[in-house]
Amino acid sequence: MTKPAPGAAVVTGAAGGLGRAVAAALHADGWPVLLTDVDAEAVATAAGPFGGWSRPLDVRDEAACAAVAAEAAGRHGLGLWVNNAGILVTGPAWEHDAATRRRVIEVNALGAMNGTLAALAVMRPQGHGHVLNVVSLAGLVAAPGETVYAASKHALVAFSIGIQADLRLAGHRDVHVSCLCPDGIWTPMLHDKLDEPAAAASFTGTLLSPERVARRAARLARRPRAVVSVPRWRGAQVRLFDALPGAALRLTPLILAAGRAGQRRQRRRGRDPR
Ligand SMILES: NC(=O)c1ccc[n+]([C@@H]2O[C@H](COP(=O)([O-])OP(=O)(O)OC[C@H]3O[C@@H](n4cnc5c(N)ncnc54)[C@H](O)[C@@H]3O)[C@@H](O)[C@H]2O)c1
């Protein structure tokens, strides 16, 4: 569809949801795509229509991330690494046990750092490449009911923007790190959250289809940018709340009421938001 991609693309958490949609959009754009996921069987099945290249990968395993990066580099060169794998736990943090809090941080923040550093170990010496980190609007603003998740995503934004600056300071002009911050997406991550008041923050805006977000990801892969929100106006809105935390706190009951209305709307609509 577009010019041939400079190397392969690796997508983590690609067995379903947004990851599989991103793999499909990149495949359609001409990238050889290596789909990875902690669920080996599901990712092997998912990879079928997109070239059939898959590997089991738990992003918490630093050495395994490095091995996947080396495999992709050996086969096509590594052009793009998409840190998409993520988990969501809802409810007040005091209701989670320590293992749950640790798992969210390990997958969403440390896992994405493992992926980024594995990719950069290849991209820095080769002099080009792009790490695309799938964050969330919860990486830009506090999300009541999703606080540990939001903390993990804030960590990823800080890491991504900071490491991009470090790359420039080290003279790497053609190695890029981008953050993609979507609103709620109708994927398995939210399919069981329609009756959960603590998950209302995910339904306060426009519930997106994975295909729409994946198209934006493929465009971002062609043209890296530090932080991109989907939709753009929601990024501006949550950044305003972030800048005015006192006002945001006062508005929280109203915002969450809008989220509960979004959950009811989606229940009426059924499983397809388009
Ligand atoms: N769904 C949303 O509303 C939404 C909104 C904004 C951002 N996001 C982000 O988009 C990304 C994709 O989420 P999704 O909505 O497709 O969720 P999903 O639950 O549908 O898919 C997540 C995938 O990650 C995999 N995974 C989980 N732990 C893993 C690990 N340790 N190593 C490797 N793979 C692992 C799962 O097996 C699954 O295939 C996540 O980073 C999520 O935080 C989602």
Q: What is the structure's pLDDT at 272?
A: 53
Domain that holds residue 183: 8-269
Residue 9: predicted pLDDT: 98
Which protein residue has the closest C-alpha to ligand 1 atom 21? 17
58 found inside a domain: yes
pLDDT (mean) for 146-151: 98
Residue 246 falls within a domain, yes or no? yes
How many domains in the chain? 1
149 is catalytic: yes
User: For the domain that residue 213 is a member of, what is the CATH number?
Assistant: 3.40.50.720
- Model confidence pLDDT, tens digit, residues 180-203: 999 999 999 999 999 999 999 999
Average pLDDT, the chain: 96
Q: How many angstroms separate the CA atoms of 219 and 221, rounded?
A: 5
The residue contributing the CA closest to ligand 1 atom 30 is 58
Question: Is residue 141 over pLDDT 80?
Answer: yes
Residue 273 is predicted with a pLDDT of: 45
pLDDT at 274 over 50: no
62: CA distance to ligand 1 center in Å? 18
> What average pLDDT does the segment 122-126 reach?
97
Q: Report which ligand 1 atom has the smallest distance to the Cα of 43.
A: 39
Instruction: Confirm or reject: Cβ of 184 under 6 Å from ligand 1.
Output: yes
Residue 2 belongs to some domain of the structure: no
**Section 126-130 average pLDDT:** 97
107 located within any domain:
yes
d(CA 42, CA 39): 6
Tokens of 110: 């440390």
Is 152 contained in some domain? yes
Query: How confident is the model at residue 4, as a pLDDT?
Result: 45
Percent of the chain with pLDDT over 70: 97
Q: What is the pLDDT of residue 3?
A: 52
Q: Is 214 exposed, middle or buried (0-12, 13-18, 19+ CB in 10 A)?
A: buried
* Catalytic hit among 31, 53, 81, 149: 149
For β-strands 175-182 and 129-134, DSSP reports them as parallel
220-273 pLDDT per residue, tens: 999 999 999 999 999 999 999 999 999 999 999 999 999 999 999 999 988 554
- Helical (H) or strand (E) element with 148: helix 147-169
What distance in angstroms lies between residue 162's CA and the mean position of ligand 1's atoms? 23
60 pocket-lining for ligand 1 (C-beta < 6 Å): yes
Q: What is the pLDDT of residue 6?
A: 80
Is there a domain that residue 274 lies in?
no
Distance CA 159, CA 49 (A): 33
Q: Examine residue 55 and state whether it is found in any structural domain, yes or no.
A: yes
Q: Say yes or no: CB of residue 87 within 6 Å of ligand 1.
A: yes
- Angle of helix 245-269 relative to helix 232-243, nearest 10 degrees, comes to 140
pLDDT at site 5: 59
More confident residue, 274 or 35: 35
Indicate whether 3 belongs to any domain: no
Predicted confidence at residue 121, as pLDDT, reads 98
16 ligand 1 Cβ < 6 A: yes
Q: How far apart are CA 2 and CA 125, in angstroms?
A: 26
